[in-house]
Structure 1
């Protein structure tokens, strides 16, 4: 009787309940969902907890010590697993690259093998350097970028057919993937869903508004730039009246951090009356909008599918690509120093017909000198 009572006590313990969940009729994914952990962790739990539970149930027949000692040992194991679970929940990132970056070599208690297990990252993936795009794909991306700049209304079907006329027989799925990597999408009318995309949509404030002074309107946008060994993204903030690039940043990913850095740099030089952007995720994020509103800027956004609402930045991208990037090749321009040189040339040397054949820096400085002193 006493032995049965001991078994009953242990059967109602938290350890036994976890063991029953692991041995039940649920799949590993279902159990993982129940406990809110990665499926890889379930396999390890099952090994450790069931092995420990056998020792607990066997302790009633063996005179090796009181059951409480074994229970304490199991609770200690559960405590350690909880520490590991907390580590996973706090640090688990979404992508393999981010997971690889979070595994450092200085952790005192968890090995690299164990950390890879906890976050669901294969050790081979951790140790293997990610491969970039092939030379053939980079050449295709350059051609696609040139054609997209000339015909932004071309979708994957027409670009695939156009590449075939250039001697590149590739299928449409490949072109679609390269367009996604480059962050390009054909300009076309999109369905107007009443639910929207979950962000606040600000109205377009610049329709039929005369632009007659420096600092009246700024706008920002992002474009893709090909490189000899990859690609970069260039973000710029431009003053509409003078065509002057107030601030710019380069990045190898489309995250919002480099756009916020550009915004901080731009607002450090002054504050426009209206700041216009498209509805990209970088510009509809709360950090971007709140920073602009805190500086006293009126936020304006392009209508969906209306690239001409931000025509001055689009014209800047055409100038950058056709007058430098495509002309000089990819070996020098889209690096940090190369991009700085291109923008410096456009600011200080390129004469603009719309500015009376003056340079943007001349018009911008003249306009700033007429601004009233800020308090």
Structure 2
């Protein structure tokens, strides 16, 4: 049996499926099509490295404790300012309401100091917390929440205002917008394309593919492209390399920037995993990453023959575009990840655990890419 060599990033993400996402070793190994013994070994080595790196001397612990004590007050004030930034310029009643809401999270003395509210003033407010206007706002906010939930989070203040008025409630759009903003009710919006810097035009390779997307042998034609994934930390960029023979994603790479290294990392994985014995056509668009000298030299050194779509014509690279569309519709739709690492793990699970091994593909007679290759190769 031929021994499979896995890239380091593949190993790291496979281990995270066990240690961070809580999946069983046997289950993960089965989904990734690998030996569970190898995955057990990777997990054990990762734990040993973590425990060795986490050992601290008693002197370091004492120093850390001292620094934590010194920073406790500063961190608490910072967190108060972060959570209360919207009430810093508001009336005392608004600040007191914020303090009452976060009393279990922050010390009252710290909040009074940061928000510049007297403790006696806070207790006076507590005896009579809400005005008639505030009580009316509470009633209105309940109706706003109901309309917002009924729309599955899609409606903004103009449409919610229409709902309220149809129910006989008298209010204005600015008031509805203010209450939604204070309650952090935000309507769902689509993706916004990131802004790209315009560079010098690349020297384009000829379009050798000419939309011939049906290939009879593996490792003859690969297509590649770059897409973006939205996270709360910023954009995460994904490069995928797809073999037109089976539509399998044979290489991928993710990073926070669109540098040429992102593309080269994905191609390195593809060459490492597939080990082609002859020249391979690599088709892409005319992005600056694919027109760079580094890309051209790398292709020449690894027997890859560049082919490029016509400028502005996405149909010339329809297979890569179709994959990214499936990824976003089936896994990322209406989902904003908290961190780039969360997005990486989820995309890894989609590509290696679902798309390549399980997802049925209409072009492959409803077989998965892996099943198609195994059937054609007789294995």
Tell whether the structures are fold-level matches, with TM greater than 0.5. no
Q: TM-score range by the shorter chain?
A: 0.3 to 0.5
Give the alignment's TM-score, normalised by structure 1.
0.45
